[in-house]
Amino acid sequence: MHKHITSAQNSYIKELVQLKEKSRLRKQTQTFLIEGLREISLAIQGNYPIETILAATSIINNEEIEKLMSSVNYAIEVIEISNDVYQKLALRESTEGILAVAKNKDLSLNSIKFKNKNPLILVTEAPEKPGNIGALLRTADAAGIDAVLIANPKTDIYNPNIIRSSIGCVFTTQIATGTTSEIISFLKEHHINIYGAALTASVAYQTLDYTQPSAIIVGTEATGLTDEWLQNTSKNIIIPMRGAIDSMNVSVSAAIILFEAVRQRQNN
C-alpha cells in the first residue's frame, strides 16, 4: 500500500519545497527534485538513484507509474499526493503529475570517463542563467558530445529551472564542475586541444580541424572568456557575423561550432 499525503502543510512536503528552492539544502542532503515523466525517465537512464516517487494519481495513471518503476532494479518509495500538494512542489502548471527525489552524482573532474580516445567536449565558463545552461545541455545532447565541463559555476546543476530548461538533458551527458585552472589542467593532462570562442586573435571557426581531441570553450555573453582561458587556448575561434551585432546567444554559438566539429568527424 502506498503512503498518501494530502496536505501541503505536511512536514515532509515542506522539506521538499525547501529542497526545490535552496541550493544549500540540495548540497547538504545530496538530493534534488525532478519534475516530469520524461525527466525522471532520463535520470534513471543516466543512472541517477531515485529515492522517492510522488504521484498525483488524479493526473497520472498507475500504469505509467508501474512502467517507470519497472525500469529500475531497486525499491523506490511511492507516495500518492493530492493536487494541492503537487501544485506546491511543481514548477510547471501543466505536467504529468509526477515528481521524484533523486540522489546527486559526483560532479568532480575525476568522474569523467571518456568512451574513446578522441573526445569532443564543451566547456562553459561562469554560466549563471538557468535557461542558458539548460540550452547548452540540450545542445550537448543533440550533438552527442562526450562531456560538458562547467568552470566556476554560478548556479548548482540540480537547480529545478536548469532541469526544466534542459528538458532532462542534464541527465544525458557527462557533467563535471571545477575552477578554470582545474579544467585547463584537466584538458592539458588529457592532451585535448583548447578552442576558445573569442573576438580577439581569432580565426574563423570552420577553418580548424576538430577531428582530434577537442574542447570548445564559451564564456558569458556579457564579458566573454577570462584572460586565464585566452592565455591557455590552442586557438581562438570566431563565428563570422554578417549583420550589425558581434555576438549571439551562447547556446546558439556553441551549437554552431559543435555541429561543425560533428560534421568533420562524420566525414573523417
- Report whether pLDDT(1) > 60: no
Range of lowest pLDDT (7-11, 60-64, 140-144): 60-64
33 contacts 110 by C-beta, under 8 angstroms: no
Give me the pLDDT at residue 184, please. 98
232 contacts 194 by C-beta, under 8 angstroms: yes
Q: What mean pLDDT is predicted for residues 32-44?
A: 96
CA-based nearest residue to 261, from 214, 193, 217? 214
* Higher per-residue pLDDT: 245 or 236: 236
Q: What mean pLDDT is predicted for residues 27-54?
A: 97
Residue with cell 579544467: 183
**pTM of the prediction?**
0.94
Q: What is the pLDDT of residues 112-139, one digit of tens each?
A: 999 889 999 999 999 989 999 999 999 9
The CA distance from 45 to 62, in Å, is: 21
Percent of the chain surpassing pLDDT 70: 99
- Report whether pLDDT(51) > 50: yes
- Report whether pLDDT(38) > 80: yes
Q: What mean pLDDT is predicted for residues 82-89?
A: 94
Q: What DSSP letter does each residue of 66-102 carry, written as one string?
A: HHHHTT-SS--EEEEE-HHHHHHH-SSSSS-SEEEEE
Handedness of CA 91, 53, 51, 136 (dihedral sign): negative
Give me the pLDDT at residue 247, please. 73
Give me the pLDDT at residue 124, please. 97
Q: What mean pLDDT is predicted for residues 52-76?
A: 93
The CA distance from 9 to 27, in Å, is: 24
Q: What is the pLDDT of residues 183-235, one digit of tens each?
A: 999 999 999 999 999 988 899 999 999 999 999 999 987 788 999 999 999 99
Q: What mean pLDDT is predicted for residues 174-187?
A: 98
